[in-house]
Structure 1
């Protein structure tokens, strides 16, 4: 059984990690915009990958499994397709992503 002080240290550490992840997400979004503006697409895709990893890890840190997050993403995709989201209407991106994720 954990002692109260050890439990408190785990909570503090988890809060610190969450703050770091929020900062990482903001940093990656800023980098993405910056690299896209300058045509540095290799760096932009790296920012997107880092952003995706940070979101998955944040979900886990706040108590969701990777599967929970992926299920929520699939549900959101289907809702947006059903509701006629503009990205779906114009490009079919949402149904394409849904199809891709389901083929894995």
Structure 2
């Protein structure tokens, strides 16, 4: 690959990471705003915001050289650990087990 093309590729990757960081920050801010609005916030807006955050996280990982499957595997590992350590989300609501079952059943 010629040096100019390599530099262009690196520049594009850096720009994409910077865009993703801004999108992630904007998404989290939007989610906090929607939570603050409470019942006034529509489920559609919350769903759109959450799905955008998840998408951006996968893209950031990819740009940093992490495979999507590696993110999934690490998530599964963290869920197992949280279940074993009885994280509050698990102990109080069973959220980690629910998410773990969802991921296993929808692959």
**Smaller-chain TM-score range?**
over 0.9
Higher RCO, Cα 8 Å, sep 6+: 2
How far apart in 1 are the matches of 2:8 and 2:102? 41
Aligned ranges for residues 83-102 of structure 1 at < 5 Å? 83-102=85-104
> TM-score with structure 1 length normalisation?
0.94
| Unmatched tracts of structure 2, length 5 or more | none
| Unmatched tracts of structure 1, length 5 or more | none
CA RMSD of aligned residues (A): 1.0
| Aligned with 1:69 (options 45, 68, 71) | 71
Aligned equivalent of 2:6: 7
> TM-score with structure 2 length normalisation?
0.91
Q: How many residues align?
A: 103
